[in-house]
Structure 1
Amino acid sequence: MVGPLPPLISVIGATGTGKSQLAVDIALAFNGEIVNSDAMQMYAGLPIITNKPTVAEMRGIPHHLFSFLRIDEVYRVGQFVKEAEKKIEEIRGRGKLPIVVGGTHYYVQSLLFPHSIGIEGEEEHPFLPGAGEDLAVKYPILYFHLSITLRIGGDSPTPELFAELQRVDPAIAEKWHPNDRRKIRRSLQIYYSTDGKQTASEVYAAQRAEKEVSRYRNLVFWVHAEAEALKQRLDARVDKMIDGGMWIEVEEMKKTYDSMEVDMTKGIWQSIGFKEFLPYLQLYASRCQQQQQNPDPGPEEAKEKLRAELEQARTRCIETMKTATRQYARTQTRWIRIKLLNTLRLPSHIYLLNSTDPLAITKTVTNPALALAEQFLASGDPSLPDPRSLSALAEENLKPKREDFSSRPDLWVKKTCEVCGATCINGDMWELHVKSSRHKRLVRKAAMKEEVEGYIRARKEERDRKRVELVRVLERRVEDSAGLEIFDEEEEGGGGIGGI
């Protein structure tokens, strides 16, 4: 008989809402240790850019999975899940409570519900380790694509691959976009690696059946603040980061950036703080190079102009960083409301704690969380209150914003835009498409074209109508003329008869 699931407390929420502080409060109250789930905080160094908790903020609580990656390492969600599971078991083995905290919600959801995002997870698939080149040789349709992808990195014959997928797995082919090479290729690999015994659609259906099964008994705290209050808090935090020495970290990253080939979409380079200041750094380097080539600084007016130019560039970069931080916070909240809430569903043990007022954190966040955690840990099946009953903010937000189309292929329906010709495979894509500037531009163009064509059509119809009317008028005149001629003939003939 399977025993009860072990308890796990997780703290999630957008950046700047107070997750780290709450996690430490819970750890202090219940003899816990913290497992980090913030992807950027796993990299060594850069404590300001990545907003790592300071030693003082940790308050003596052990923190795991912090600062263990090199700056050039790429870390994947599958690696995180394995490491986090290991740390959780080690903490539990010491008789302590594991507490997961962090804003990389993709990581948290993968840890709590392993199959909940399997369809759009990492490129690796459990069937496929090391299978690529063998499959390429065995199945000619994949040979050209895989040999190029694995060895050269060139383009692939996507239409041929898609046609093959339509043949072997029409159900999944109907779900993928015809140009989505990665998903098409992966679906074919699943089919070929099982010698045709399982299709990708069958694998994903099995994953969906298991997606809401967690390996833990979960209590999730969502620390949330109202948008305007969080905006002001995040802007102030950026200013504080810059004043606190972030510039030194930015310059260190610039040296690394200049010394190696960097992919700004991977690893630590995705973090907010460096890429936003790169335009300023490049401008500064360019002006320094010009000065070396022409040592004469020129008149004081020119020097002042240069200083003003650099200061304006730096100010723009600061504003860009603030904007990026706010956008990231919205993205984090969106993930919770669309993906995580759709996986958990109510009634589940996810509680929204309102951190809008920083002066009321103890009342609105700390005390409710500690009370709920105590009740949760006291019994194997506690009767916790309805999460929506905590506050009006909870009532408003603890409902999925909409269905998570990415994990519901049963809801996917391909739609082709009559204006643009673009194909969309779900509501998300369709919504993005109709809001895109390209679609709107083409709609305006089509509307103008329709207006012009309508005008031309109306003019033609008017000319045709007038032509028809003219023909009818002429026909009547001809008929009238013919009638007059007959009348004249009768007049002439009548005179003759009378004479007889």
Structure 2
Amino acid sequence: MSKRKADEMSLRLPLVLILGATGSGKTKLSLDLAKKFCGEIIGADSMQIYKKLDIISAKPTIEERSVAPHHMIDKLSPNEVCTVVDFRNEAVSIIDKLFAENKLPIVVGGTNYYIESLLWHILIEKPGDTRKTLPWEYRKKNPDVSSEELHEKLKVLDPEMATRLHPNNKRKIIRALEVHEEKGRKTSEILKEQQMDGGNSQGGGLRYKDTIIFWLQWDQQTLDERIDKRVDLMIKDGLINELLDFHNEYQSYLTSTPDYTTGIYQMIGLKEFHEYLIMNAEQRASPEGKTAFESGVEVLKRVTRRYARKQIRWIRNRFLGRSDREVPPLYALKADRIEQWDENITEPAIKIVKSFISETPCEINPEAKVAIQSFANSQDETYHCEVCKRIFIGTFQWQIHMKSRKHKMSLLRLAKQERMCNTIKSDTSS
């Protein structure tokens, strides 16, 4: 077949990205679209990429995975780690291969920085196997080097990048230092080059110009109720035994110096049930054990609800609040009534994808951009609050802090201390 005929037969397929808070139904929509368009699903969840903990990570079931090919799920053992660069490199390769085969790639989002790494040119390539030189490995080899010391070093080598990073953000500080050492160039300079291609201060332009984003929206109260019920169902399905089995297999790690900030150990649920998991069977059966279990359930629900709100804020900020960056069209699908799922979710999504492929007009419009204050001001300025002894990156966060009750209370306490000191000085002098 000639190249011309092959090109004529190729379809104009979009990259489909499904976003939404945890528990919003992203998996269900991905299966609906995969069945309709013979697509394949790429998971963008930093926890589902690991084997084990299937229930707490809400992985698609074996039955669901049989509906369509799934990628980037159950790839790593809990002892392995996956950087965002690792994920980006493999996921982009899969997406490109699917496009070459005229197959619809459907990305199901769960982890913000995984999704951003696919959509935009925001990362600096790191040669070699990144899994062997991770920030937490660096910490083990250099336990006495503090984040503040590394930040001071970065100020000397790349002062512009240092202003963008909080002194406590050790992972990103180390990454900037690694880039400088490996490439002999400043990270800030490389990021500026990326900005020339439709990017902004956060990175470069779109990786895939033909992208459609679906945002599954729920009324907040309804979503909270769904999350609580989802946790209850997880427990009914064997969540506690899953956590106990995992804990027993990796007990030496969890009971020595728990670090719930790396790899699979960041999973929501492990930290929340830690007190219960380290108990023996007799202790778990005691009143104290029951209290620890009930506390774990309540905290898990609360943390998950809070995480869902964070995801929603990220979607609004990144996709509707940006005027300084190329952003794909985002279609909001209202999912408040599950009994009307097909009518409100599946059918509109199918119509939008069909319209894109056929290059015909669609009566469904993407969401309009909105002005969000957090992006109206510089994100790179560093502010020090001498009263609260805190550092803030970005004008927006600084303004929020200055208006916060905590800051105002600190001002009142400081004023009270000054009055007391003045009174003591006055009494002493008299």
Report deviation, 1:165.
Answer: 3.5
* Residues 59/382 of structure 1: CA separation in 2 closer, same or farther (3 Å cut): farther
Alignment of 1:296-445 (within 5 A): 307-342=286-321, 348-379=328-359, 385-388=364-367, 399=370, 401-404=372-375, 410-427=378-395, 429-430=397-398, 433-434=401-402, 439=407, 442-445=410-413
- Give the stretch that moved more between structures: 212-221 or 19-28: 212-221
CA distance in 1, matches of 2:252, 2:163: 45
1:95 partnered with 2:94: no
Which residue is 1:27 aligned to? 34
Residues 375, 384 of structure 1: 8 Å contact kept: no
Structure number having the greater helix percentage = 1
Which of 188, 203, 222 is residue 201 of structure 1 equivalent to?
188
CA distance in 1, matches of 2:86, 2:126: 17
Q: Percent identity between the aligned chains?
A: 33
* Residues 158/447 of structure 1: CA separation in 2 closer, same or farther (3 Å cut): closer
SS at match of 1:325: helix
1:244 partnered with 2:237: yes
Which residue is 1:277 aligned to? 273
- Give the stretch that moved more between structures: 204-213 or 53-62: 53-62
Which residue is 1:45 aligned to? 52
Residues 128, 190 of structure 1: 8 Å contact kept: no
CA distance in 1, matches of 2:39, 2:119: 18
CA distance in 2, matches of 1:368, 1:129: 44
Which residue is 1:217 aligned to? 210
* Residues 308/165 of structure 1: CA separation in 2 closer, same or farther (3 Å cut): closer
Alignment of 1:157-176 (within 5 A): 162=152, 165-166=155-156, 169-176=158-165
Residues 284, 310 of structure 1: 8 Å contact kept: no
* Residues 347/89 of structure 1: CA separation in 2 closer, same or farther (3 Å cut): closer
* Residues 150/55 of structure 1: CA separation in 2 closer, same or farther (3 Å cut): closer
Q: Which runs of 5+ in 1 are unaligned?
A: 119-124, 132-147, 289-305, 389-394, 465-500
Report deviation, 1:103.
Answer: 1.3
* Residues 184/83 of structure 1: CA separation in 2 closer, same or farther (3 Å cut): closer
User: Could you give the per-residue CA deviations for residues 415-442 of structure 1, whole angstroms, max 9, x where no partner exists?
Assistant: 2324234343323553675588874553
Which residue is 2:145 aligned to? 155
SS at match of 1:101: strand
1:229 partnered with 2:222: yes
Which residue is 1:110 aligned to? 117
Residues 161, 184 of structure 1: 8 Å contact kept: yes
Report deviation, 1:83.
Answer: 1.6
2:152 alignment partner AA: F
What is the TM-score with the length of structure 2 in the denominator? 0.79
Residues 9, 219 of structure 1: 8 Å contact kept: yes
What is the TM-score with the length of structure 1 in the denominator? 0.69
* Residues 428/84 of structure 1: CA separation in 2 closer, same or farther (3 Å cut): same
* Residues 74/440 of structure 1: CA separation in 2 closer, same or farther (3 Å cut): farther
The count of corresponding residues between Structure 1 and Structure 2 is 403
* Residues 271/373 of structure 1: CA separation in 2 closer, same or farther (3 Å cut): same
Report deviation, 1:42.
Answer: 1.6
Structure label with greater radius of gyration: 1
SS at match of 1:222: strand
CA distance in 1, matches of 2:129, 2:269: 37
CA distance in 2, matches of 1:413, 1:151: 32
CA distance in 1, matches of 2:46, 2:343: 30
2:303 alignment partner AA: A
Residues 335, 341 of structure 2: 8 Å contact kept: yes
Report deviation, 1:346.
Answer: 8.4
CA distance in 2, matches of 1:163, 1:360: 57
CA distance in 2, matches of 1:265, 1:59: 32
1:272 alignment partner AA: I
2:337 alignment partner AA: D
User: Could you give the per-residue CA deviations for residues 66-103 of structure 1, whole angstroms, max 9, x where no partner exists?
Assistant: 21211221111111112212222333344321111131
* Residues 42/435 of structure 1: CA separation in 2 closer, same or farther (3 Å cut): farther
Which residue is 1:136 aligned to? none
Report deviation, 1:9.
Answer: 0.8
SS at match of 1:312: helix
* Residues 316/219 of structure 1: CA separation in 2 closer, same or farther (3 Å cut): same
User: Could you give the per-residue CA deviations for residues 14-59 of structure 1, whole angstroms, max 9, x where no partner exists?
Assistant: 1111111111111111121111112212222332111122244446
- Give the stretch that moved more between structures: 205-214 or 313-322: 205-214
1:399 alignment partner AA: V
Root-mean-square deviation (CA, aligned residues, Å) is: 3.8
Residues 41, 52 of structure 1: 8 Å contact kept: yes
Residues 165, 188 of structure 1: 8 Å contact kept: no
CA distance in 2, matches of 1:130, 1:48: 30
Q: Which runs of 5+ in 2 are unaligned?
A: 1-6, 131-137, 198-203
* Residues 127/260 of structure 1: CA separation in 2 closer, same or farther (3 Å cut): closer
Alignment of 1:109-188 (within 5 A): 109-115=116-122, 118=123, 125-126=124-125, 151-155=141-145, 162=152, 165-166=155-156, 169-177=158-166, 187=176
Residues 10, 99 of structure 1: 8 Å contact kept: yes
- Give the stretch that moved more between structures: 258-267 or 17-26: 258-267
